[in-house]
Amino acid sequence: SKMVEQMKLVHKTAYWGAMSLGTPPQPFKVIFDTGSGNLIVPAADCNVPGCAPHKKYDSKASTSSSFVTNERGEGSSEITFGTGQVSGDFYKDRLCIGESLCFDASFIAADKMTTEPFREIPFDGIMGLGFKDLSMGNGFNIVDDLASSPELPSGGHQFSFFVSDGQDSEVTFGGYRADRLASDIVWAPVKVESWWQVAIDDITFNNVPKSLCNGQCQVAVDTGTSMLAGPSDLVDKLSNMVNAKDDCSNFDQLPTLGFQIGDTILNLRPDDYMDKSASGCSFSIMALDVPPPKGPVFIFGDPFLRRFVTIYDRSKPAVGFAVARHSGAEDKVAASTLIARVHGDKAGSAPVSSSRAGSSPQTGVSLHLDGGLMTGDSDNSDSSSAPAPAADTANAAPVDAAPSRSDSEQDPMAEMRALLGGRASFLQKPRRQAANLVSVRLFRDQRR
């Protein structure tokens, strides 16, 4: 019934896109994951159940393939994830995202993948977009490869994510699409170059700080997870303070839950941090304790990413946040509450200045990708076994050249500190985007 449908508000999603390896190209579907640092695809000699339903990389079928070792002389490795393991050999080959963004990349061709979770996932592999310390060694980091790619001369240092519950989700390489933004961009410097991890000063309810962090909280923005998570002690406190009723009777009175960066607050609404269904309501931020030095840390997954476009800048390094434009004018109005100042002084209501079609050449690339349920069944008419379709020209606005770096290359935070002027964050108007943007459409999977 309509009433039951309105009660469904459970956030369980995954987003993935297409790429290819080799000459001639071998297509794969991968999740673009800012929480890991390696490209991993199944190998042709992987015969275990975890590899069975997926496309497999055949090094012998590629004229550009080579076996490689890292600087420690290692030619293989085993990686443990939260719910499984993979192991395999190291290769280098031609990697293409679309038809125009291609470069040589080192990666893991897995000859073993545990049955759970890999047999059931709707994508073949993982493209890690975290920092170098998460990678297998020198030359294995995709973010560094993008930054030095000649196909992205002015914007290779940036990539961005726009995700939604519709069919228009994208990851953009070479900058961001200004038409996806409904607010100014809030930039926060990366504190730990591993995950894309930034500091938060406090947690707020309806823009009022609650003195829960003492300036010690951190957040990792993770495009590879469907959840929101945080340190168990803080999650318990937040759950008690929110005091959501199991029967949803006070759902409409629940506060916005904000994360304070300097004097700027990024807000989540109750439907972002609550699971609401016909059976009741529950606080959806999971308890997850990450040990030092990376933890304790909050994890911002899909519920946060649906509210905010996230921009990852390797050159600063920093993460940018802007309210996602899903519904045009409605999102522009919502921006004034989703990005706010401490105690309610609105920061997101300033008009967005962006360049649209016609003001500059448009050479971005958008790919239509397959999507399916987490069980592997298709949820649209596209065939999951079909090769990646040809690239189409995207309606993407191009990105300015990267700002000049500080003279002190030994201090990568120097430029960001200069830009911040001692503040923890700053606002930037969406810029005109230079040519050579590559946008890849992502498909959503949702399980009830």
Q: Rounded to whole angstroms, how far apart are CA atoms 220 and 363?
A: 31
Greatest CA separation for the chain:
63
Q: Rounded to whole angstroms, how far apart are CA atoms 165 and 434?
A: 28
Mark out the alpha helices in 261-404 (DSSP H runs).
270-273, 302-307, 329-338
Give the C-alpha distances (Å, rounded to integers) separating 71 from 129, 288, 399: 20, 33, 35
CA quadruple 389, 392, 396, 399: dihedral, nearest 10: 80
Q: Rounded to whole angstroms, how far apart are CA atoms 37 and 242?
A: 35
Q: Rounded to whole angstroms, how far apart are CA atoms 368 and 390?
A: 9
Tell me whether strands 285-287 and 228-230 are parallel, antiparallel or unpaired.
parallel
Contact partners, residue 410, CB within 8 Å, separation at least 6: none
Bridge partners of 96, per DSSP, are 20, 102
Tokens 């810029």 belong to residue: 431
Q: Which one from 222, 313, 370, 445 is the annotated catalytic residue?
A: 222
Could you tell me how far CA 396 lies from the centroid of its own chain?
19
In three-state secondary structure terms, 94 is strand
Q: Rounded to whole angstroms, how far apart are CA atoms 18 and 387?
A: 9
Q: Which two tokens stand for residue 2?
A: 């309509």
The angle subtended at Cα 367 by Cα 313 and Cα 147, nearest 5°, is 25
Could you tell me how far CA 97 lies from the centroid of its own chain?
16
Whether 364 and 160 have beta carbons less than 8 Å apart is answered as no
Tokens 């993982």 belong to residue: 126
Q: Which one from 33, 272, 275, 445 is the annotated catalytic residue?
A: 33
In three-state secondary structure terms, 275 is strand
Side chain identity, residue 312: Y
To the query of whether residue 222 is one of the catalytic residues in this protein, the response is yes
DSSP one-letter string for 117-163: HHTT-SSSEEEE-S-GGGSSSTT--HHHHHHT-TTSTTTTTEEEEE-
Q: Rounded to whole angstroms, how far apart are CA atoms 312 and 221?
A: 10
To the query of whether residue 33 is one of the catalytic residues in this protein, the response is yes
Q: Which residues are catalytic?
A: 33, 222
